[in-house]
Amino acid sequence: MRYGIGVFTLTAFLLSDVSLSNVYASRSFPKVVPRVTEKKVLWMSGEGSVTLYRSPLITTTPRGTIIVVTEGRKSTGSDTGSKFMAIKRSMDGGYTWTPQDYILDDGYMYKDGLNMGVILVDEEANAIFIVYVMCAHYRDCSVSTTHYMKSIDDGVSWGKSVNMSAQIGTKMFAPGPGYGIQKKYAPHKGRLIVCGHGTIAGDGMFCLLSDDHGNTWRYGGMLKSIPYNQPKKAGDFEPDECQPIELSDGSIVVNIRNQGRYHCQCRIISRSYDGAETFPLEHVYFDTALIEPVCAASTLYHNDVIFFSNPMSTKRINLTLQWSYNNGTTWSGKLPIDPGYSGYSCMAAFQNPLKYGSDIFIVYESGLQKSTAMDSITLIRVQLY
C-alpha cells in the first residue's frame, strides 16, 4: 500500500534536523507548502442512470479508510426530486477506489427526496454516521424529517435509516453539507456535533448535539436569520450551509454561507466556547478575506492549521485552498485548485499522519465540460510538506 508521508515531507524534516515523532508529540508543525499531486474524477454525470451528482462528502477513519458519499440525482439536476445516496471507499490512501455502490434509494414516489448531508466519524465507538434530510423544500410533501444511517464496519455496510423526528421535531434541518465532528477536548469531550441550516424563511445555523454516541440528539447552539420566519430580501442576515471545526483550545468555530450577502460577499464566522451549546453574537464576525459566490464551502483544522476551500470568486469558479496559522485571524497563503467551474467542496485528512500521511483530500463539484459548475465529482490530493 502506498501510505506514508512522502519524500518531500521526509526531506523537510531531515533538513530541519527534527524527528517526525518529536514534531507530532510537541505539536510544533512546520509551515505548509501545499501542492496538488493528484486529481481523480470519482463520478461523472450521466453515469449509472444518474442525471447529476452533487454535494459530495468525504471523511477518513481511524482504520485508514477514505469514504466519499454523494447525491445521485436520478431524473433532474434540481435540489428536489428523487435520489440515490452513492458511495465509494479507498483502503490505500486514495490511490484506488471500490466500485460505486448505492447505500440508499429514496424511492421514485418522492417528488422532494433526500438531500445531503453530513458524514461523521465517532472514533470512540468505531461508528460512522451519515445524516441527511427528506422533504427539505416542501415540494409535494408537507413534513420535513432528518434521518441518519450508521455503519460499524468502516462503511462496508449500513444499518436502516433512523428518523430523528421524535427527538428533534420536524422543523426543517438540512445538515451541512460537509462533515460532523467529535470533540477531542474539554468541554464535553466526546460530544458529536452536526451543524446545518433551516428553511429560507426560518434560516439560520443550527447544531445538533449527542453525548451518548448518537443514540439521542438534541438542538444546541444556533445563529438565527434576521428577520426570522419571515420572507427574505437581498441583504438580509441569513446564515446558511456551514461547517464546524474544533480548535486545540476546545472551542468550536463554524464557517457559514452568507446567503443574503449581509455586510459583504464573504463568509460568516461564529464561535462557541461551551461545546456548541451557544454561539454568542459577540463571537460572530465576517471574514472579508474569504470571498464567496454564495456557495457551500469547507474548512478543516489539521496539524494546528486552518484550511479553507471554496470558489474564490463572486461566481462559482476558481476553487482555491487557503490556510491560516492563527485560527483564521489572517490567511497566509492561497493554492489555486481549479480555475474553471467549481461548486461545493469538502475536505478531510487522516488523524494519524505518522501512519497514513499528512495529505489533504478535497472532493468537489467540478465542471469538466466547461458548461456547468457541477457535471462531475472530482478528488484532489494536496501534499502539505
Active site amino acids: 79, 344, 365
Does residue 180 contact residue 154 with C-beta atoms inside 8 Å? no
Of 189, 216, 58, nearest in space to 128 by CA: 58
Distances (CA, A) of 165 to 117, 132, 218: 16, 12, 10
Bridge partners (DSSP) of residue 41 are 378
Q: What are φ and ψ of residue 377, in 5° steps?
A: -115, 120
Q: Which set of grid coordinates corresponds to residue 50?
A: 444518474
Of 115, 64, 127, 34, nearest in space to 362 by CA: 34
Which residues neighbour 350 within 8 Å (Cβ) at sequence distance 6 or greater? 60, 64, 356, 357, 358, 359
Count Cα neighbours of 228 within 13 Å in the Cβ-side half-sphere: 9
Of 294, 311, 379, 309, nearest in space to 58 by CA: 379
How far is it, in rounded angstroms, from Cα 376 to Cα 374? 6
Sheet containing 66-73, strands listed edge to edge, beginning at the edge strand earlier in sequence: 52-60, 66-73, 83-90, 101-105
Beta-carbon count within 10 A of 16 CB: 10
How far is it, in rounded angstroms, from Cα 135 to Cα 272? 30
Per the listing, cell 469538502 goes with 346
Of 119, 125, 114, nearest in space to 68 by CA: 119
